[in-house]
Amino acid sequence: MIATAEEFIQRLQSGAEAARVGGQTIGQFLARLGDNNAWLVCLLLTLPFIQPLPTGPLATLGGLAFAGMGWRLMQGAESLWLPARLSEARPGTRMWNAFSGFGCWLLRRLARISKLGRLPKLVEALGPRGAASLIVTGGLLVAIPFLVVPLQNSLPALIIFFACLGRLQRDGVMYLLALVSLVVTLVYFVLVIWVLFFAAEQCWHWLRQWLL
């Protein structure tokens, strides 16, 4: 069974302690987090995209990475896959301390707003494949190369964030927030596309009148 936020806090702390004692590779650290570490890593990776400003090409690459992780999760592979060279890298103790400290701090605060076992029928109905499909959808929406539009990355990133948190805590309320974020994102994108087409049409009419 997938670890809860509290269990991941304990694993992050033990991983940082192991790094301080004798050093460890990224692959060893992920193994210490457990076979379901992809949900936690995916949640943490959404944070740079939740801020309101567009992140340009980084959003396209990140969105495709989220979609790839979501696809693996849909197939039942809940452990993060990394290339061998990256998996065998050995970050310094300072980096491990920073990552572990931030991860524990974030999970403790998230555990205050997300409670275990809320809306169990929704948790059961959606299941891990449903949560993974939300990650795929959110990732593809993050990857859409819009012009510079506020919230174009943050809204779909919230879909992924809430889906991962709902899976970690088996919290149907977080799943519900993920679904609401999906609806809001789609409505927002439709409005943005309509405004862009409307502006383009007005510019074309103005240009035709000016040329004629």
In a domain, 121, yes or no: yes
In a domain, 209, yes or no: no
Residues 130-151 have a mean pLDDT of 87
Residues 182-193 have a mean pLDDT of 91
Higher pLDDT, 161 or 152: 161
Higher pLDDT, 79 or 67: 67
Residues 34-52 have a mean pLDDT of 86
Distance CA 150, CA 25 (A): 38
Instruction: Please check the confidence at residue 23 and state whether its pLDDT lies above 60.
Output: yes
Instruction: Please check the confidence at residue 181 and state whether its pLDDT lies above 90.
Output: yes
Residues 3-7 have a mean pLDDT of 73
Residues 175-186 have a mean pLDDT of 95
In a domain, 12, yes or no: yes
Of 105, 131, 144, nearest to 39 (Cα)?
131
**Total domains present in the chain:** 1
In a domain, 144, yes or no: yes
What's the angle, vertex CA 11, arms to CA 9 and CA 15, rounded to 5? 120
Instruction: Please check the confidence at residue 1 and state whether its pLDDT lies above 60.
Output: no
Distance CA 179, CA 159 (A): 7
Domain that holds residue 102: 5-186
Instruction: Please check the confidence at residue 2 and state whether its pLDDT lies above 70.
Output: no
Of 145, 140, 144, nearest to 160 (Cα)?
140
Q: Point out the least confidently predicted range of 80-84, 139-143, 155-159.
A: 80-84
In a domain, 191, yes or no: no
In a domain, 201, yes or no: no
In a domain, 18, yes or no: yes
Q: Would you say 168 and 191 are in contact if contact means Cβ atoms under 8 Å apart?
A: no
What's the confidence (pLDDT) of residue 212? 61
Residues 75-96 have a mean pLDDT of 80
In a domain, 210, yes or no: no
Query: Could you tell me what percentage of the chain is helix, strand and coil, using 3-state DSSP and rounding each to the nearest 5?
Result: 75, 0, 25
The dihedrals phi and psi of 124, each to the nearest 5 degrees, come to -70, -40
